[in-house]
Amino acid sequence: MQSAYRANITVLRHVKNRKLVKTKLGRKFAAIPAVSHNSHEFQDILYEFEIDWAVHLGTSRTGLRGLFSDERTLSSSIVNAPLSSCLIVSCNSNMHSNKNATVSENDEVQAFVQMASLLLNLKFGKNDTATTDKGSSSKAVQWKRYIQKLLPREPEMTCLLSFNRKEALELQVPELLGEWEKQRSWMMEVHEHHLSAHLPCSIEDSAWALAVARSRSIGFKLEGGHHVMILPPAIDMANHASASACNAAVYLDKAGGKLMLRPVRPVDQDEEILIDFGHQRSNLDLMTDYGFIIPGNEADRISFSISSLSAAGYLVDPKHVQEALHQLAQQKRYIGDVSTTPKEAEAEGRHAINHHLGRYSEHVSRSSRRRAAASSLLQLSCNAGSDGESVRGESNRENSRSCYQNLEAHIQHKLNALPSTVEEDRRELGDLMDSSLVNEKLPSARYMLALRARLEHKRLLLECIEILREMQRAVLDQS
């Protein structure tokens, strides 16, 4: 995101009779097509917020609610949201004073807590303290309606902190469960010391507010190094795509006093508007902050500790792994350069997600996942110095092969320890998706995410095993 942006743009103005008037350039825009998802409420609320828009609310083939363009556009703003309609908190101010508070976080996390408190004030109707930047009570009423009618409900929130213990157990993977423990503990602490201390809210209310604040707020750096967190109505409905696949971006026009959602490439009529939530973020990060994962995410990593491997009886020399990976990288194009991302790999990954069709390209996902696995194995050599217990031996074929076999055995042990296999998870996910095609009710959103997340983690482990087996075959070929 750019910290500020100023441009001469064509303003889209909707009037009370829902017809579009001509702009100053004389261009007339097509009317918003009717959609089945809160169409009238969406338009009414945006009108009350004095937001200019050329989008409609709809549901993609992936089942996600999002924004869709009313018409083909090259550069005109898709949404203009006045800052007076947004919820804004400073990232440099203190939280509510509480002598019993034990939460000590950085400014950004404190801003999330303030935003959550603001949302709960609005939700429960405490308009004397819950205001927008202009302190308008009418804006508080509009935000309360926005919360009631358009923001997702608590069961729909899928950030890790939203999972209860029963739901979290479906994650299966120790790394995912460990992060859930941290996030849930943080949420409970914030609820006890900051939110419930001022509002009659339940744990579920606090989890909802923190998840909304965390997944939908946008941070901006202003002049003088001051940071603000902004939650903009309408713009917050845009879904994520990678930096190379997104078609729009959010800009702050300080002089004009608005946030603008603008295309970064030509956008077709009825095309979903997609923005980049964060470049090069692992699935664990995406789950933590936003509540989704990306199959074949090249930024994903499996963490291997040399000391833990040694303690478990798996003797691994990272030097052998590093050398073999670079040799394979030269022979196998689909692994890519394990130290840098080649242009071919970057271009290949640009269309890993076919948002228009609502499905993933398995070939490209596999290729990106293979590079993530190779990078994970390469990190062994980076971590060896800090662990200080790497096993060094002569760089001969037998030592190398033994090293790869030990690491493969360790990964296989991790897979065997999980309650379900890749095939079982894949079959369950396929059955559930088939059920959705015939309008059968799916499990909760959090269950579906847990299933996808653990399946993706297991697939990444299997890619690591496949690379190690190729290393072993390469050793045999040299004999």
Helix axes 39-48, 137-149, angle to 10 degrees: 160
Give me the pLDDT at residue 422, please.
Answer: 97
Residue % of the chain over a pLDDT of 70: 73
Predicted local confidence at residue 2, as pLDDT = 30
Q: Using CA of residue 318, residue 322, residue 323, residue 327, what is the dihedral sign? A: positive
Residues 6+ apart with CB under 8 A from 79: 51, 52, 53, 54, 55, 67, 234, 235, 259, 260, 261
Which range has highest mean pLDDT (36-50, 58-72, 396-410, 447-461)? 447-461
pTM (2 decimals)?
0.79
Q: What is the pLDDT of residue 354?
A: 31
31 — pLDDT class (breaks 50, 70, 90): very low
Which of the pair, 92 or 173, is modelled with greater confidence?
173
Confidence (pLDDT) at 330: 59
Task: Tell me the C-alpha distance between 280 and 14, whole Å.
Answer: 37
Lowest mean pLDDT among 105-114, 146-155, 160-169, 374-383: 374-383
Q: What is the largest CA-CA distance in the chain?
A: 80
Residue 205 has pLDDT above 50, yes or no: yes
According to the model, what pLDDT value does residue 300 have? 93
Which pLDDT score is estimated for 312? Answer: 67
The more confident residue out of 46 and 60 is 46
What's the average model confidence in pLDDT over 174-181?
A: 97
- The CATH fold assigned to 1-86+232-280 is Beta-clip-like (2.170.270)
Q: What are the pLDDT digits (tens) for 209-259?
A: 999 999 999 988 887 778 899 999 999 999 988 777 899 999 999 889 999
What digits encode the pLDDT tens for the residues 83-93?
A: 999 999 988 65
290 has pLDDT over 50: yes
* 395 band by pLDDT with thresholds 50, 70 and 90: low
pLDDT value at 408 more than 60: yes
Residue spans in the chain of domains classed CATH 2.170.270.10? 1-86+232-280
- Single out the residue of 227, 196, 221 nearest to residue 209, CA to CA: 196
Q: Is the pLDDT reported for residue 369 higher than 70? A: yes
pLDDT score of 40 more than 70: yes
Q: What is the pLDDT of residue 186?
A: 96
Q: What is the pLDDT of residue 102?
A: 36
pLDDT attached to residue 114: 94
Structure tokens at 87: 């919820």
Mean pLDDT of the chain: 77
